[in-house]
């Protein structure tokens, strides 16, 4: 229950129905006097009884969210009042909206394209500053504009090629093939860049996956707890304490991270622990960042071989690797010595190495700095794809464009090449909804909440 509730009504009957219930200054509101975008204070009266004291805003088509005539009634938050008002409205000829129906109507009425409609859902569910920024950019139409530009260039080319078909007897070439090849390569690069941004875009939306890995007893669970500031995972000096993976999200300076504590790596014949270690490997492969935890109470050779063992599992092309030399509270100043030695022996500048004591919360800021350093893209303005539907469409567009390229290389007939081009255009157009079906719309909007 909130202090107030807002009931929205959209459609040609919205204004007559609501105004017939609304008394302002003791008189029924005259429908002809209603000014759009203005808030009216009054009483909702049904069959002579007072329902509530309300504020009502009217928005006349096309100047409303849906593009239709709309009324928004702010009532008191009581569940009873809400129910009662809905009942009355339904008796007067309204019906309940389906999930996402307001946004769907807005899309159908050309208020925005499909990618922007989806951005609204993302905006509502955004949990961090970065996720919010991406949603806002998509809502403003940044992503749509990029797609539009690509489409219009490709469309021009397709039109020229299809013109050639009309003159097929005369063997003319309207579309300059070498120019087409350049354009194709540019578009393909652009599509691929957008497609590849999904890995990061998705990570930002759902939390950047950070796998915490290392041998047993190095302090992985202690580190997770220290980062979260709570006793989330069981910590003990028994090797093999954590068997299943444990995930928790944490917002650090506007970026949502998903930390994943994993089962410690060691040779074991124990069935459950083996399954746990398999999961550790899977989590490493899915992560964007890998934190390798090393136990500095061991001798240096053991530390180095453990670091190498983890490094071998990390795909440094796509994953940032951070090594944590843990338990430095037990050392004097050997932590720094180990760090320098490791840096030398691993001989890889892209690996970030930090020292800390998870148990005593010392040096955690070193790790946090390293995390921030590892995410440069999250602060840039380039478009990131966060929606799996868009990702799939881009993937298909990319394949079709590759086919066009191949077709041009192999000099296959123009009509076949232009078919592949049309296919690529279809996929790009499906993102913004230029080309769409009822079924697609149904699936997209059914995921919205009711009333949105
Ligand atoms: N002195 C000291 N001990 C620590 C530190 N971090 C963890 N420990 C201890 O190391 C032991 C193992 O810690 P855990 O966090 O359970 O280690 P783990 O890596 O999760 O171990 P597994 O789940 O078995 O793989 C516990 O006794 C912790 O108290 C630290 O910074 N300093
Ligand atoms: Mg553990």
Residue 294 phi/psi, 5-degree rounding, is -115, 145
Report the DSSP beta bridge partners of residue 414.
none
CA distance 111 to 296: 60
Please name which ligand lies nearest the alpha carbon of 324. 1
CA 168 to chain centroid:
47
pLDDT digits (tens, 9 = 90+) for 358-391: 999 999 999 999 998 887 555 556 788 999 999 9
CATH 3.30.420.310 describes domain 209-379: no
Indicate the class that CATH gives domain 4-96.
alpha beta
- Supply 309's token pair: 């063992």
Average pLDDT over residues 70-91: 96
Structure-model confidence comparison of residues 10 and 449, the more confident one: 10
CA of 28 to the centre of ligand 2 (A): 69
Nearest residue (CA) to ligand 1, atom 21 = 217
Predicted local confidence at residue 70, as pLDDT: 98
CB 138 within 8 A of CB 115: yes
CA of 357 to the centre of ligand 1 (A): 10
CB 380 within 8 A of CB 391: no
Each as own residue / partner, the long-range contacts of residues 305-310 (CB below 8 Å, 24 or more positions apart, any chain) are 306/214, 306/215, 306/218, 307/342, 307/346, 308/346, 309/215, 309/265, 310/213, 310/214, 310/265
> Phi-psi bin for 328: left (phi > 0), alpha (psi -120 to 50), beta?
alpha
Q: Cis (ω within 30 of 0) for the bond into 62?
A: yes
CA distance 425 to 434: 10
pLDDT digits (tens, 9 = 90+) for 411-420: 888 888 889 9
DSSP 289: E
Q: Which of 211, 219, 294 to mutate for ligand 1's pocket (most ligand atoms within 8 Å of CB)?
A: 219
Please name which ligand lies nearest the alpha carbon of 214. 1
- Supply 36's token pair: 């759009």
CB 70 within 8 A of CB 10: yes
- Give the pocket of ligand 1 (CB within 6 Å): 216-222, 235-237, 239-242, 264, 326-327, 329-330, 357-360
Predicted local confidence at residue 316, as pLDDT: 86
Domain range annotation of the chain: 4-96, 142-201+384-426, 209-379
Least-confidence region, from 289-303, 354-368, 437-451: 437-451
Query: Which ligand 1 atom sits closest to the C-alpha of 330?
Result: 1
Query: Which ligand 1 atom sits closest to the C-alpha of 358?
Result: 31
Structure-model confidence comparison of residues 56 and 333, the more confident one: 56
Q: Which of 214, 222, 239 to mutate for ligand 1's pocket (most ligand atoms within 8 Å of CB)?
A: 222
DSSP assignment string, 228-274: HTS--S---SSTT---S-EEEEEEETTEEEEEEE-PPB-----HHHH
CA of 310 to the centre of ligand 2 (A): 16
Structure-model confidence comparison of residues 380 and 43, the more confident one: 43
Please name which ligand lies nearest the alpha carbon of 238. 1
CA of 293 to the centre of ligand 2 (A): 11
CA of 309 to the centre of ligand 1 (A): 19
3 state SS of 188: helix
Tally the C-alpha atoms within 13 A of residue 443's C-alpha that lie toward its C-beta. Answer: 6
Residue 316 phi/psi, 5-degree rounding, is -70, -10
CA neighbor of 63 nearest in space, from 106, 92, 29: 106
Q: What is the CATH number of domain 142-201+384-426?
A: 1.20.120.430
CA of 2 to the centre of ligand 2 (A): 42
CA distance 357 to 326: 5
Nearest residue (CA) to ligand 1, atom 9 = 219
Q: Which residue stretches of 236-351 are H helix?
A: 271-286, 300-311, 334-346
Give pTM, 2 decimals. 0.74
DSSP3 helix / strand / coil % (the chain, rounded to 5):
50, 20, 30
CA of 216 to the centre of ligand 2 (A): 7
Residue 357 phi/psi, 5-degree rounding, is -125, 105
């Amino acid at each position: 229950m909130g202090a107030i509730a807002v009931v929205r009504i959209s459609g040609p009957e919205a204004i007559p129905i609501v105004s017939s219930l609304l008394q302002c200054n003791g008189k029924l509101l005259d429908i002809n006097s209603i000014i759009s975008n203005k808030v009216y204070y009054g009483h909702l009266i049904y069959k002579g009884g007072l329902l509530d004291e309300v504020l009502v805003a009217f928005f006349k088509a096309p100047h409303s969210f849906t593009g239709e005539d709309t009324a928004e009634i702010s009532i008191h938050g009581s569940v009873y009042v809400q129910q009662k008002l809905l009942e009355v409205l339904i008796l007067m000829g309204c019906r309940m909206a389906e999930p996402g129906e307001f946004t769907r109507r807005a899309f159908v009425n050309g208020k925005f394209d499909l990618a922007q409609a989806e951005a609204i859902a993302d905006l509502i569910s955004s949990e961090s500053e970065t996720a919010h920024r991406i949603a806002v950019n998509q809502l403003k139409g940044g992503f749509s504009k990029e797609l539009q530009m690509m489409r219009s260039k490709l469309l021009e080319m397709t039109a020229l090629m299809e013109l050639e078909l009309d003159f097929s007897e005369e063997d003319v070439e309207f579309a300059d093939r070498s120019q087409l090849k350049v354009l194709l390569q540019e578009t393909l690069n652009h599509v691929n860049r957008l497609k590849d941004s999904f890995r990061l875009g998705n990570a930002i939306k759902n939390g950047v996956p950070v796998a915490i890995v290392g041998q047993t007893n190095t302090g992985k669970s202690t580190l997770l707890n220290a980062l979260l500031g709570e006793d989330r995972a069981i910590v003990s000096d028994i090797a093999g304490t954590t068997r299943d993976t444990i995930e928790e999200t944490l917002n650090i300076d506007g970026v949502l991270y998903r930390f994943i504590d994993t089962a410690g790596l060691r040779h074991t014949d124990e069935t459950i622990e083996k399954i746990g270690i398999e999961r550790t490997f899977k989590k490493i492969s899915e992560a964007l960042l890998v934190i390798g935890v090393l136990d500095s109470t061991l001798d240096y050779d053991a530390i180095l071989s453990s670091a190498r063992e983890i490094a071998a599992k990390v795909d440094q092309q796509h994953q940032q690797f951070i090594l944590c030399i843990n338990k430095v509270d037990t050392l004097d100043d050997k932590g720094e010595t180990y760090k320098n030695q490791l840096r030398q022996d691993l001989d890889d500048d892209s690996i970030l190495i930090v020292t800390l004591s998870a148990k005593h919360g010392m040096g955690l800021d070193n790790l946090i700095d390293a995390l921030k350093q590892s995410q440069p893209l999250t602060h840039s303005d380039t478009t990131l794809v966060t929606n799996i539907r868009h990702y799939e469409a881009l993937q298909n567009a990319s394949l079709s464009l590759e086919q066009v390229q191949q077709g041009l290389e192999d000099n296959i007939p123009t009509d076949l090449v232009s078919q592949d081009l049309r296919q690529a255009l279809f996929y790009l157009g499906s993102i913004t909804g230029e080309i769409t079906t009822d079924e697609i719309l149904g699936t997209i909007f059914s995921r919205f909440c009711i009333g949105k």
